[in-house]
């Protein structure tokens, strides 16, 4: 029975925030109303003794989240990219969580490498440094290969990280179920599904073989992207708990002073980060889903280098088109079309008023245009969007959670480089290009060609499928009658082929 354990865990969360001084800082950052502020402080104060003390040398917020565990650290990493939401002071504190966490000892790392790769570190590397970066799940060492003398990055999972993560996720599940039970109005947000999605994503980070595979696929997709590169995977030196990649030399994207000193154009970098993300998400349907400053560098020639591929996002082609049409509608200020796309995709129940939804979307979108981007209150905008979705019965789309979260992170990175950036103006050329490529007569013909190629594989079997379906339909029904999907597939295939032939005839006749 995990209930009592999780209740204690959640109480300890509030107690830790209060004990470390992070509670008041977080309440201030989110401008919590006095009633909520007083209630939280009143409930947490008596249990301070249950809270973790954390590292007194760290600022309050990272001190609390680091003490609470890896899942809380991940949450803090997301907030560190949004100074417009949490304020510059708290965002600066939370940035420590990206790659400056307390490391585990080098001798422990060397033992892990030897166990995983089957050889001692000295047999594989001429040099093996102290940790150069320590994050929530793993830490990185710089090493030099004995075989060819090239520099590499060796990523090693933290000892016991799987058990620590499981403990946090159990508490999150418990909280989600309590919310669904005590606040029925919140069920439309599907908090349990959200936690399950989050669990699946981060569980992938706990197997570095999957991360190596993701890096390889991402490199294949983005090989032609100008101004963007990735370190190569050293497969023979990678396993479940250890991954070795080429070393990435460059200036951290979060160090504005160093970027300025190196002569890099921060405004251009901000635009490029945002456009690269959108291009990967829309063009490839496969994107780096953890693009915070700690995972990005700028090479001497200005190329953006991405690394840490533990969290990657994937969206199917249909969802990409829906997402692009929604973005494009906002960019064009065509709120009616944005509303229609929501209804067509099933995001809003069909019995709701499309015109009323379009007017609500206009109230969301209009403040964005004609205004200095630095003056837009993203907190107010998100608050109003929540009210709109609740009013029109929208449910949380779990397949879009990672895309939406990454968009928030990337926007925060872009704004940290250039506070005046206008995300809509920067996004417009990428979205317009995708729309031209995927929506229109040429795209329709390409889709029909793909469909014909699939149906052609069933061509030799279609007559037999049709005959068998007719025989089954004419026979008396049996208690254990088999499904008739082959017949439906056959008739659907014939219908599609006939429709395609008609379309081609009309095109050539014209």
Catalytic residues: 290
How crowded is the C-beta side of 148, counted as CA atoms within 13 Å?
Answer: 5
Nearest-angstrom CA–CA distance, 336 and 341: 9
Residues whose CB falls within 8 Å of the CB of residue 318, separated by 6 or more in sequence, listed in order:
none
Are 335 and 355 in contact by the 8 Å Cβ rule? The answer is no
Whole-number Å distance between alpha carbons of 477 and 249: 70
User: How big is the chain by its Cα radius of gyration, in Å?
Assistant: 26
Are 200 and 314 in contact by the 8 Å Cβ rule? The answer is no
Tell me the pairing of strands 304-306 and 138-145.
unpaired
Give the C-alpha separation, 50 to 84, whole Å: 32
The closest alpha carbon to 375, from 366, 367, 365, belongs to 367
Q: What is the pairing mode between strands 228-229 and 304-306? A: parallel
Q: Are 217 and 287 in contact (CB under 8 A)?
A: no
Is the distance from CB of 144 to CB of 152 less than 8 angstroms?
yes
Q: Which residues are CB-contacts of 359 (< 8 A; sequence separation ≥ 6)?
A: 335
- Tell me the CB-side half-sphere exposure of residue 290, using CA atoms within 13 A: 24
3-state DSSP assignment of residue 315: coil
Handedness of CA 208, 210, 213, 217 (dihedral sign): negative
**Phi, psi (rounded to 5 degrees) for 14:** -65, -40
The pairing of beta strand 125-134 with beta strand 242-246: unpaired
Contacts of 344 (CB under 8 A, 6+ apart): 322
């Amino acid at each position: 029975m995990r209930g009592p354990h999780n209740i204690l865990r959640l109480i300890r969360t509030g107690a830790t925030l209060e004990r470390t001084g992070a509670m008041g800082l977080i309440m201030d950052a989110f401008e919590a109303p006095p009633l909520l502020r007083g209630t939280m402080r009143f409930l947490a104060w008596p249990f301070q003794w249950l809270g973790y003390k954390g590292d007194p040398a760290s600022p309050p917020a990272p001190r609390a989240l680091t003490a609470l565990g890896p899942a809380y650290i991940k949450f803090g990493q997301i907030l560190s990219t949004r100074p417009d939401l949490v304020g510059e002071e708290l965002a600066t504190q939370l940035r420590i969580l990206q790659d400056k966490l307390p490391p585990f000892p080098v001798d422990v790392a060397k033992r892990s490498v030897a166990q995983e790769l089957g050889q001692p570190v000295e047999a594989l590397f001429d040099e093996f440094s102290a940790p150069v970066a320590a994050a929530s799940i793993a830490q990185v060492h710089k090493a030099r290969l004995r075989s060819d003398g090239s520099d590499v990055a060796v990523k090693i999972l933290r000892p016991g990280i799987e058990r620590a993560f499981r403990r946090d996720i159990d508490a999150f599940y418990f909280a989600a179920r309590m919310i669904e039970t005590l606040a029925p109005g919140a069920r439309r947000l599907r908090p349990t599904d959200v936690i399950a999605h989050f669990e699946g994503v981060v569980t992938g980070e706990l197997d570095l073989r999957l991360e190596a595979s993701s890096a390889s696929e991402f490199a294949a997709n983005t090989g032609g992207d100008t101004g963007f590169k990735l370190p190569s995977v050293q497969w023979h030196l990678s396993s479940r708990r250890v991954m070795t990649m080429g070393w990435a030399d460059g200036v951290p994207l979060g160090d504005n002073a160093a970027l300025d000193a190196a002569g890099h154009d921060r405004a251009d970098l901000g635009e490029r980060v945002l456009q690269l993300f959108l291009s990967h998400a829309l063009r490839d349907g496969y994107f780096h889903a953890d693009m915070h400053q700690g995972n990005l560098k700028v090479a001497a020639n200005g190329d953006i280098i991405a690394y840490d591929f533990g969290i990657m996002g994937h969206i199917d082609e249909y969802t990409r088109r829906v997402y692009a049409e929604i973005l494009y509608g906002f960019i064009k200020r065509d709120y009616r079309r944005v509303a229609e796309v929501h209804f067509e995709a099933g995001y809003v129940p069909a019995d709701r008023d499309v015109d009323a939804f379009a007017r609500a979307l206009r109230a969301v979108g209009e403040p964005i245009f004609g205004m200095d981007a630095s003056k837009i209150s993203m907190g107010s905008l998100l608050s109003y969007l929540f009210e709109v979705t609740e009013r029109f019965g929208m449910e949380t789309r779990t397949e879009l959670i990672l895309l939406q979260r990454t968009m928030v992170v990337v926007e925060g990175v872009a704004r940290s480089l250039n506070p005046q950036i206008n995300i809509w103006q920067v996004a417009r050329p990428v979205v317009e290009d995708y729309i031209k490529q995927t929506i229109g007569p040429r795209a329709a013909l390409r889709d029909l060609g793909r469909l014909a190629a699939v149906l052609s594989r069933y061509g030799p079997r279609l007559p037999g499928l049709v005959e068998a379906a007719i025989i089954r339909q004419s026979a008396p029904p049996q208690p254990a009658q088999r499904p008739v999907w082959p017949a439906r597939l056959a008739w659907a295939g014939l219908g599609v082929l006939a429709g395609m032939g008609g379309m081609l005839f009309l095109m050539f006749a014209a």
